[in-house]
Amino acid sequence: MIQRTTGAVYAVDDISFDIQRGETLGLVGESGCGKTTAGRTILGLYKATAGNVSIDGHDICTANGHEWMTIRRKASIIFQDPYASLNPRWSVSAIISEPIRVHGLLKTVAERDQRAQELLELVGLNARHLNRFPHEFSGGQRQRIGIARALACNPKFIVCDEPISALDVSIQAQVVNLLEDLQERFELTYLFIAHDLSMVRHICDRVAVMYLGVIVEMAPRDNLYEKPLHPYTQALLSSVPVPDPKKERKRRRIILTGDVPSPINPPDGCRFHTRCPIAKRPPVASRCSEIVPEWREIKPNHWVACHEV
Amino acid sequence: MDAVLQVNDLAVHFLTPEGTIYAVNGISFSLDNSETLAVVGESGCGKSVTMLSILGLVPIPPGQIVNGNAIYQEMDLLHSTEAQLELIRGKEISMIFQDPMTSLNPVLTIKKQITESLQRHMGLPMEKATQQAIALLNQVGLSDAQQRLNDYPHQFSGGMRQRVMIAMALACMPRILIADEPTTALDVTIQAQIVELVIALRERLGMAMIWITHDLGVVAGLADRVIVMYAGCIVEEAAVTQVYENPRHPYTMALLAALPRADLRRNQRLKSISGAPPTLHAEIHGCPFAPRCDFAIDHCWSENPSPLQLPPEGGRVSPLLPSERATATGGRFDRRSLHRIACWVDVQTGKAR
């Protein structure tokens, strides 16, 4: 369980899930749902307020010293913004080999440079560009540099925090294909955080949907997309535009009214009840506005938090 | 022909200390009354610069309109004075932008911003303008408009700010609305709300729209016709179903093949396009897509093809334009029957066209 409160912002409020070795779990939701906070807390970039996170048998929340360093090698992160996540004053070589240096894995500059060259080639970049600076690369190439850095210490688990959102469509496909190739080659496990539901369907094995700090539904990919059970998931999927004019024009969307409430003051009971098409609201008494729905396994491997399902 | 806007041979450059940027490289297109034209392409393809130049919103310098004209009601917008353009902007042709937080004035109330164009363009006195503003805000789905008139942009959410932008843009019932990536920064459920709103308003007001985006899903639901741009050039232009079901330019085909689908069960690898778009620091010689194209032949490297009408299946290129053929036979010209591509190769045979 992970629970985080800072002042009164309930960014991530009591979520539980696991990720199997070699799997890609998608974590989706709209702005403010807590997915990025969850991803960063899982790696220890934010300190969890409560709960525990275990990566390959090590508990992030209680580890320190040697064990902490071990976890930090086994788990890494790829960030969203290829322009903000690379230090503009460091060469690509320095950026990629920083984790190696910090963990003392290779002692000499020559060894680290060689490893950096290997990593550059792994991600499809020219090893001769080792001494260039980030501004000399395009957005897609910078993202590849970020991936190379994430691979530096041979991790087992990578949190991909919206790794392609800032890229053009034709480059997104390149980077996603690279991530899939690397996963197969190195038996990696991914937590893929994104808001692009089409890309999530492509790359993920299972998907968890978040709303205002809680997970509302989690299921294997095709089950979620073809038979979503939670009203929010249904509305979310019905909003995704599809590049097919005939289909798109015939669709009946579930349009949610209003805006997402603030996580500083989330609604009582089910957080989604204020916008839910099927919730019964006050003055009609209902569980939706008063009781937090239980997180239940409705069908094998298909979990939902909803009173009406 | 019902063209409300006709752009011919537009070319726009930017002169920077690092050299010239060839942002728009000779494009021509028309917009009919009441039609929705989508302009799609990835970053740097020139789609925004094209529309900004038409409305005189490109700073000059460093921008430079090197060539072309944009005819609206017999007036060439590219060669008009600022005073003449001010009469058009916001009244005849309106524009909404991607980030409403930076395009709304943060220190003016919503009331001030909406009533400004009503007073200026329609000559309404403040009281009438205020009533109109409330009506407009209601129309765009802000039901507590009366109370919120004196609020500032930062007091609204992203989706609501975009609704305010739309209300402002439509206040004077323009003939053309240009929307530059208006939903790109919004969450998908909010995007769906805004698109539904725009469709309803379009039904009611009948304005022509130009919708600039890189999102091929939104285009499918909204557009009548589509223009695909690459490196400042138009590479394909056709009715929306043609573009998705029968794309003929290698770039359009590659773009569609690179898209993942939320609605289909698929297990193949995404087809990516190798390389990256050109940086536009050099003048275009040859087809700009050639370095990344699976179909490139020698001719592609030496000469940049202009968009030409596709011949009917198995036929030869007609000397008459479809518009000329239509009027010659006494028929009405439907611009949606056009399907132009800028390519030397027939992708169906792999040989030169």
3-class secondary structure per residue, chain A: CEEEEECCEEEEEEECCCCCCCCEEEEECCCCCCHHHHHHHHCCCCCCCEECCEECCEECCCCCCHHHHHHHHHEEEECCCCCCCCCCCCCHHHHHHHHHHHCCCCCCHHHHHHHHHHHHHHCCCCHHHHHCCHHHCCHHHHHHHHHHHHHCCCCCEEEEECCCCCCCHHHHHHHHHHHHHHHHHHCCEEEEEECCHHHHHHHCCEEEEEECCEEEEEEEHHHHHHCCCCHHHHHHHHHCCCCCHHHHHHCCCCCCCCCCCCCCCCCCCCCCCCCCCCCCCCCCCCCCCCCCCCEEEEECCEEEECCCC
Q: Among A138, A195, A235, whose Cβ lies nearest the Cβ of B276?
A: A138
pLDDT the model gives residue A263: 81
pLDDT tens, B143-163? 788 889 999 999 988 888 999
Q: Among B159, B240, B272, whose Cβ lies nearest the Cβ of A170?
A: B272
Q: Are B194 and A253 in contact (CB under 8 A)?
A: no
CA–CA separation, B130 and B137 (whole Å): 11
CB contact under 8 A, B192 and A253: yes
Other CB atoms within 10 A of residue A258 CB: 13
Tokens of B111: 């009331």
CB contact under 8 A, B42 and A170: yes
pLDDT tens, A7-18? 556 678 778 888
CA–CA separation, A217 and A235 (whole Å): 13
For the cut 50, the answer to whether the pLDDT of residue B318 exceeds it is no
What region, left, alpha or beta, does residue B254 occupy, with left being phi > 0 and alpha being psi -120 to 50 degrees? alpha
In B140-275, the DSSP E strands lie at 176-180, 208-213, 225-230, 233-239
Collapsed DSSP state (helix, strand, coil) of residue B70: strand
Instruction: Return mean pLDDT, chain A.
Output: 90
For the cut 90, the answer to whether the pLDDT of residue A51 exceeds it is no
Partners of A210 in the β-ladder: A215
Nearest-CA distance B319 → chain A (Å): 31
For the cut 60, the answer to whether the pLDDT of residue B284 exceeds it is yes
pLDDT the model gives residue A257: 81
Q: Kindly list the residues from chain B whose CB atom is less than 8 angstroms away from the CB atom of residue A169.
A: 42, 214, 216, 255, 258-259
**ipTM confidence:** 0.85
- Bridging pattern class, strands B19-32 and B3-16: antiparallel
Q: Are A28 and A200 in contact (CB under 8 A)?
A: yes
Alpha carbon B20 to its chain's center = 24
CB contact under 8 A, B189 and A244: no
Q: Are B224 and B209 in contact (CB under 8 A)?
A: no
Q: Are B174 and B94 in contact (CB under 8 A)?
A: yes
pLDDT band at B319 (very low <50, low <70, confident <90, very high): very low
CA–CA separation, B59 and A150 (whole Å): 41
- The dihedral built from the CA positions of residue A89, A93, A99 and A101, taken in this order, carries a sign that is negative
Q: How large a percentage of chain A has pLDDT more than 70?
A: 95
Most B CBs within 10 Å, among A141, A143, A169, to test the B interface: A169
pLDDT tens, A63-75? 888 999 999 999 9
pLDDT the model gives residue A281: 64
Q: Kindly list the residues from chain B whose CB atom is less than 8 angstroms away from the CB atom of residue A171.
A: 272, 276
Q: Are A137 and A169 in contact (CB under 8 A)?
A: no
pLDDT tens, A197-239? 999 999 999 999 999 999 999 999 999 999 999 999 999 999 9
Q: Does B270 contact A at CB distance below 8 Å?
A: yes
User: Of B121, B67, B63, whose CA–CA distance to B89 is shortest?
Assistant: B121
**What pTM value is reported for the model?**
0.89
Tokens of A128: 């001769």
Q: Phi and psi at residue B60, in whole multiples of 5°?
A: -125, 110
User: Of A196, A165, A208, A166, whose CA–CA distance to B262 is shortest?
Assistant: A196
Q: Among A140, A170, A201, whose Cβ lies nearest the Cβ of B262?
A: A201
Q: Which residue has the higher pLDDT, B266 or B85?
A: B85
